[in-house]
Structure 1
């Protein structure tokens, strides 16, 4: 019997697979099994070298659906992501993303549709790598900013009540036009906090950086 597997990759102690699972179920996915790699860097460790990522290659069969928050969960860079997606498609696995509800599968045999699908895979993988590089640069800038802010007499502002993962979840759900109350329920944040993030996402990000997050 075909099954739907959610694969989560979380790289820090502040992130949890529960957030990603909640997002998936809120988006309407019926999950049969969750595989999660905790404390694994998405930009340095290939999917096949992660314990649970490796299991995907062992258990996924034709007709199964692999759900991920975004394609960046399926590899460490452009080549890794595209190679893995193509391998799963070749096996008859359907890949779906929570963000933007994209679907990649091998059902079509029409050359034009295959070309469009493959071009979309490449584009999404390139976007994922660009985003990862941007995050790394932002983290470096955040560390430098935090070090500067740690000097005596420098005011860092009030410590945010949300984590980096919370911020990412809020922004992702806002992108999908989720309501404030729904976002607050998923993230366990107050509606006021969600509204502040919605009104000034850059300021919310800067506040985290000031505290070294």
Structure 2
């Protein structure tokens, strides 16, 4: 039986090394790491990703699949639900680093099954909602920045974070991390994180105004 870490890394997300370090800090002993880089969790199903296909081929009954959070498997509600249920059907245990969730198909108690299945649906829906909220913030920020550029040349304070850091902050805040925890994980000041949290649209617009 093996413990496999699956990591999906987009151009604006954490590194594979960071995700592995988080997993090991949480007590997981990782035997293998499988990673898809530069792949969207919204538009590309796990089974359609190069390393996602490899993951399905290598996992066996009794293996443990570790992911930072369910959004690494995907940000599409139906796909994530289907993936986790298929893995459980094969006898694979799915565990998350964040929140310490465990999805185990061997559960036979009806109440435990109901709670487990409801949690799968909730986590999958949350992942898709976060992705859609981030996209909307991006669109609104771009539109706002263009309007500002047309009306005035004033750009305001230059952001102390870049676009990659902004995405990481939004992702962690959406997952329920505290401002202090986000500051620790990203190296961004708490004041900047508060500004992002309190007005994501303006935070995104500031990056566009400064062409960051």
What TM-score range do you get, normalising by the shorter chain?
A: 0.7 to 0.9
Q: Does 1:202 align with 2:197?
A: yes
1:211: which partner in 2? 207
2:154: which partner in 1? 154
Any unmatched runs of 5+ in structure 2? none
Q: 1:13 Cα shift?
A: 5.2
Residues 11 and 20 of structure 1: CA distance in aligned 2, closer, same or farther (over 3 Å): same
- What value does the CA root-mean-square deviation take over the aligned residues? 2.8
Please give the per-residue CA displacement for 1:64-97, whole angstroms capped at 9, x wherever unaligned. Answer: 1111122122234111010000000111111111
Is the 1:47–1:74 contact (alpha carbons within 8 Å) kept by the matching residues of 2? Answer: yes
Q: 1:156 Cα shift?
A: 4.0
Is the 1:66–1:93 contact (alpha carbons within 8 Å) kept by the matching residues of 2? Answer: yes
DSSP 3-state at the match of 2:84: helix
TM-score (norm 2): 0.81
Matches within 5 A, 1:91-106: 91-106=90-105
Is the 2:7–2:34 contact (alpha carbons within 8 Å) kept by the matching residues of 1? Answer: yes
2:47: which partner in 1? 48
Higher mean C-alpha deviation, range 36-45 or range 21-30:
21-30
Q: How many residues align?
A: 205
Q: 1:167 aligns with which of 163, 166, 169?
A: 169
Distance 2:20 2:175 in 1: 13
Higher mean C-alpha deviation, range 197-206 or range 67-76:
197-206
DSSP 3-state at the match of 1:112: helix
Residues 13 and 199 of structure 1: CA distance in aligned 2, closer, same or farther (over 3 Å): closer
Matches within 5 A, 1:1-213: 2-12=1-11, 15-151=14-150, 153-162=153-162, 163-168=165-170, 171=173, 175=177, 184=184, 186-187=185-186, 189=187, 193-197=188-192, 199-203=194-198, 205=200, 206-212=202-208
Higher mean C-alpha deviation, range 31-40 or range 49-58:
31-40
Distance 2:10 2:95 in 1: 21
Residues 27 and 179 of structure 1: CA distance in aligned 2, closer, same or farther (over 3 Å): farther
Higher mean C-alpha deviation, range 79-88 or range 114-123:
114-123
Please give the per-residue CA displacement for 1:120-149, whole angstroms capped at 9, x wherever unaligned. Answer: 111211121112211111121122233345
DSSP 3-state at the match of 1:161: coil
Distance 1:149 1:20 in 2: 38
TM-score (norm 1): 0.81
Residues 15 and 174 of structure 1: CA distance in aligned 2, closer, same or farther (over 3 Å): same
